[in-house]
């Protein structure tokens, strides 16, 4: 099981960016394999700390992690990308923090494709849509591949050439004196911004970045049986990647609005029905609303308050499964108020001719009725 990122770095959940950077810097110097060669676990610990730093120092990734935990960054089988858990190479993060070669490292870091950020959006649906599924459009501003230059960043492809300062590597190296001795340190090339190429005629649509924000309408296919709070992942529908990297994913967080008279319990639907005292005593055939429309339901004479009528297969379809839950109709018996003297007399006459045995009490009592509603 993965440890909590805040626990890994030893910071509170409300820690600021600078505090997180300080905690990571301290751990990185302690755990880097080139310094701590006596601990066989130091490389794994270093990777763990670097992964935690990458997430918590990125506002969007941190928001996703706080909402969904480690599940926010799990990618399905066949998803493109390398590194650990869908993030970049831990060496890349360390180099950007301390500089390449600070612990006697090698050459310049290659500027390869970078996967785009994951995004999240809220979608509100009603109970019927959740039960039977629905296709809904969501609109969002998304960082997408520039449509004018196709992601190259150049208005004229002939105006793109290799950066002379870094030789196309995107990195420049300098020798610095540190407390650990004289070390080679590298960083992004100032001339090309780490891209390894210079664009003399940048695209006006994206200002040479290859990506630009645009409004996008996406159709979300909500599956039948989805529950409140569940999320749907749309692979590859997040922000466009850099330098030809794959796009991130889009997470759709589903919220189900409260229904006027239905209450959902798992895949079952609870509906409360009022019977008059006379209907409960003599029996009645009434129309009851269901997710599929109205249905006639018969209540036998002597129906008691709290009794439950089960309508099989009238609940919510099982998500990614066969069949449906049930609808449970809870009976509430209405007792008349503000009786006239004539009405009181009629009830007294009725009571006088009734025998004790005609009053029926359920053996399981009120708590038993509640248990039957939710589990029976």
Is 184 found in the same domain as 46?
no
Helices (H), 252-328: 277-282
Domain end residue (candidates: 58, 76, 98) = 98
* Angle (nearest 5°) at CA 249 between 243 and 254: 155
pLDDT value for 363: 56
pLDDT value for 356: 85
Domain end residue (candidates: 37, 68, 98) = 98
Higher pLDDT, 371 or 266: 266
Dig out the tokens for 108 from the structure.
């310049």
Domain that holds residue 40: 1-98
Is 86 found in the same domain as 108?
no
Whether pLDDT at 26 is above 80? yes
Whether pLDDT at 27 is above 70? yes
Whether pLDDT at 285 is above 90? yes
CB 163 within 8 A of CB 198: yes
Is 247 found in the same domain as 124?
yes
Whether pLDDT at 181 is above 60? no
Is 173 found in the same domain as 74?
no
CA distance 116 to 251: 14
Nearest C-alpha neighbor of 149 from the set 205, 198, 216: 205
Whether pLDDT at 75 is above 70? no
Please name the residue that has the structure tokens 């979300």: 220
pLDDT value for 84: 37
Domain end residue (candidates: 257, 277, 307) = 257
Mean of the pLDDT values across residues 25-49? 74
pLDDT value for 161: 79
Dig out the tokens for 241 from the structure.
């990647």
Whether pLDDT at 100 is above 50? no
Is 25 found in the same domain as 128?
no
143-156 pLDDT, tens digit per residue, is 888 877 877 777 77
Most confident residue range from 89-93, 181-185, 249-253: 249-253
CATH number at residue 33: 1.10.287.110
Kind and range of the H or E run holding 251: strand 250-256
CA distance 272 to 12: 46
Dig out the tokens for 189 from the structure.
């090339």
CA distance 293 to 304: 26
Dig out the tokens for 205 from the structure.
């649509």
CA distance 128 to 293: 11
Is 227 found in the same domain as 120?
yes
pLDDT value for 74: 64
* Angle (nearest 5°) at CA 180 between 178 and 183: 60
Nearest C-alpha neighbor of 329 from the set 360, 366, 276, 287: 287
Whether pLDDT at 254 is above 50? yes
CB 294 within 8 A of CB 288: yes
Strand bridging mode 268-276 / 327-334: parallel
Q: Look at the chain and report how many structural domains it folds into.
A: 3
pLDDT value for 32: 65
pLDDT value for 240: 85
333-355 pLDDT, tens digit per residue, is 999 999 999 999 999 999 999 88
CB 156 within 8 A of CB 201: yes
Is 234 found in the same domain as 118?
yes
211 Cβ contact list (under 8 Å, min separation 6): 143, 144, 145, 146, 151, 239, 240, 242
Kind and range of the H or E run holding 55: helix 42-56
User: Which band of pLDDT confidence, cut at 50, 70 and 90, is reported for residue 176?
Assistant: low
Higher pLDDT, 192 or 292: 292
């Amino acid at each position: 099981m993965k440890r909590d990122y805040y626990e890994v770095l030893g910071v509170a959940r409300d820690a600021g960016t600078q505090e997180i950077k300080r905690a990571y810097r301290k751990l990185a110097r302690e755990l880097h394999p080139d310094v701590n060669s006596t601990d066989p676990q130091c490389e794994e610990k270093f990777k763990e700390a670097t992964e935690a730093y990458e997430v918590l120092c990125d506002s969007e990734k941190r928001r996703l992690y706080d909402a969904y935990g480690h599940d926010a960054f799990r990618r399905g089988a066949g998803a493109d990308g390398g590194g650990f858990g869908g993030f970049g190479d831990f060496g890349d993060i360390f180099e950007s923090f301390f500089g390449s070669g600070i612990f006697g490292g090698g050459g310049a870091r290659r500027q390869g494709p970078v996967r785009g950020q994951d995004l999240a959006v809220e979608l509100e649906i009603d109970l019927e849509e959740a039960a039977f599924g629905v296709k809904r459009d969501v609109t969002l501003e998304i960082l997408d591949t520039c449509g004018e230059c196709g992601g190259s960043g150049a208005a004229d492809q002939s105006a793109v050439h290799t950066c002379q300062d870094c030789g196309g590597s995107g990195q420049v190296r300098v020798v610095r004196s540190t407390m650990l001795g004289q070390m080679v340190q590298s960083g992004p090339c100032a001339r090309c911004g780490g891209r390894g190429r210079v664009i003399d005629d940048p695209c006006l649509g994206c200002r040479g970045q290859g990506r630009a924000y645009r409004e996008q309408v996406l159709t979300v296919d909500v599956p039948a049986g989805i529950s409140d709070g569940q999320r749907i992942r749309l692979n590859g529908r997040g922000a466009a990647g850099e330098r030809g990297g794959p796009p991130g994913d889009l997470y759709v967080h589903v919220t189900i609005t409260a229904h006027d008279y239905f209450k959902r319990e798992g895949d079952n639907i609870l509906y409360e029905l009022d019977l008059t005292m006379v209907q409960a005593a003599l029996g009645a055939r009434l129309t009851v609303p269901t997710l599929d429309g109205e249905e006639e339901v018969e209540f036998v004479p002597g129906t008691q308050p709290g009794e439950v009528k089960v309508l099989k297969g009238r609940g919510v379809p099982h998500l990614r499964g066969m069949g449906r839950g049930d609808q449970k109709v809870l009976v509430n018996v209405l007792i008349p108020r503000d009786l006239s003297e004539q009405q009181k007399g009629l009830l007294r006459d009725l009571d006088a001719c009734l025998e004790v045995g005609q009053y029926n009490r359920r053996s399981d009592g009120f708590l038993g009725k509640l248990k039957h509603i939710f589990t029976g």
